[in-house]
Amino acid sequence: MNLRAAQVYIIMMFMTALASSTMFVTHGIYFVAELGLNPVQLVLMGTVLELTVLLFEGITGVVADTYSRRRSVIIGMFVIGAGFVLEGSVMWIGTMIPVLSLFAWVLVAELIWGIGHTFISGADSAWIVDEVGESNVGNLFLQTKRVSLWGNLLGIGLSVWMSTIAPNLPYVLGGLIYASVGVFLLFFMKETAFVGAVHKQQVSHWQHMKSTWLSGASTVRRNPILFMIVGVTLFSGAASEGYDRLWEMHLITEIGFPQNMALSMPMWFGLIAMVSTLISIAAVRITDSRLDMSNERVVFGAMFGLTAVRIAGIVMLAFSPNLIWALGSILIVGVVNTLSQPIYETWLNMNMESKSRATVLSMISQTDALGQTAGGPIVGWVGSRVSVRASLITAAVLLGPILTVFSRALRRR
């Protein structure tokens, strides 16, 4: 096991978790209370992001497998940083350059963020799996998630503090953190276990990229588990877009916060994120010690159980009669999402070849983007026409087919 690579990966994920938490803990306040976006606009942001991923993911994944996963990740860090700084600066830029509306500038930032994401998506996992080996990566993913949660905790404090000063500052700071990670990786990220296909034979770059993409597509088509993962990812993406974009609006507009407590809105969202993170740290630690991440059937069963709990949590939030009930539901969904990520990544990497790993991971990410692009506008439309509660119920319904797929597969296996 390459311990140096593992350390670099852990630091990278800690810093990106810090940046993401800094931005996203209070982003509902920025977009809903400050910029005044409605449910359709909130979902359209995600639609632009996911369409970008859908269009560019396959290209950048092939680039990572053809040239260098390291180079792809570093480029992505700088591009994402630029996108987030722009997103946090739309109020200033909209005043100085009024050729676009504030919402249009937000969409441009989402476009840049999406392009940067495609450079990293798949490439980071493919790099670390090759460096440490498939047999070690499951436990490393869980360990990384546990460390990342501490980054989340630090980011919560930064988010609340910066949002209290100005609602847009968390995005500016988050973008700068991403750029600093790019600088760090330039010096410390090494690629020792992978040689890009373009360096192996003397044929054209485009021929290598084409053959790599076809190899990845063939891998998905031949492997029933990977083909099933594509279906699961499609419906999961469709459901997650609605929930991720609208749960804050549900709290702000339909549940509300107590007026007789000396807590500002940023403090409420910070408190929610902090409690969720602390519970998640404990849950990941228990999972790491008790779940055999090298046993595919165990991993498979864990995904089934977590999906069922996720559906129940979203439905509970939709029918919440008060703030306490809503907060409990949000915590359940948050912990489930935290546990699902490393288990899902382990499940993915158990079923693919090294030479096309980044390409296949990018194809899976494209499937997620397709689901979010197709399902997000539907969920947003329901929220505008009926209510945000109805949107949440729609998101839960979209997760239903995943349980059917899991149950049938478990019976077969």
Whether this prediction's pTM lies above 0.75 is answered by: no
Q: Where are the domains of the chain?
A: 3-186+203-412
Residues 6+ apart with CB under 8 A from 21: 151, 152, 153, 154, 155, 156, 158, 159, 273, 277
The model's pLDDT over 225-236, given as tens digits with 9 standing for 90+, comes to 667 777 777 777
Rounded to whole angstroms, the Cα distance separating 279 from 199 reads: 46
Residue 210 has pLDDT above 70, yes or no: no
Highest mean pLDDT among 65-69, 272-276, 347-351 belongs to 272-276
The model's pLDDT over 372-404, given as tens digits with 9 standing for 90+, comes to 777 777 777 777 777 888 888 888 888 888 877
Question: What is the structure's pLDDT at 199?
Answer: 47
Rounded to whole angstroms, the Cα distance separating 272 from 112 reads: 29
Burial class (CB in 10 A: 0-12, 13-18, 19+), 383: buried
Reported as a pLDDT band with limits 50, 70 and 90, residue 205 is: very low
Residue 242 has pLDDT above 90, yes or no: no
- The letter for the amino acid at 176 is L
Residues 6+ apart with CB under 8 A from 390: 318, 382, 383
Determine the straight-line distance between the first and last CA of the chain, rounded to whole angstroms: 31
Reported as a pLDDT band with limits 50, 70 and 90, residue 202 is: very low
pLDDT mean over 166-195: 90
Residue 171 has pLDDT above 90, yes or no: yes
Average pLDDT, the chain: 80
Residue 55 has pLDDT above 60, yes or no: yes
- The letter for the amino acid at 133 is G
The model's pLDDT over 326-376, given as tens digits with 9 standing for 90+, comes to 999 999 998 888 888 888 777 776 666 666 666 676 677 777 777 777 777
Percent of the chain with pLDDT over 90: 19
- The letter for the amino acid at 147 is V
> Which of 126, 3, 133 lies closest to 68 in space, CA to CA?
126
> Which of 60, 115, 110 lies closest to 86 in space, CA to CA?
110
Rounded to whole angstroms, the Cα distance separating 269 from 266 reads: 5
**Domain at 3-186+203-412: CATH code:** 1.20.1250.20
Residue 203 has pLDDT above 60, yes or no: no
Highest mean pLDDT among 104-108, 119-123, 244-248 belongs to 104-108
Residues 6+ apart with CB under 8 A from 85: 171, 172, 175, 176, 179
Question: What is the structure's pLDDT at 76?
Answer: 93
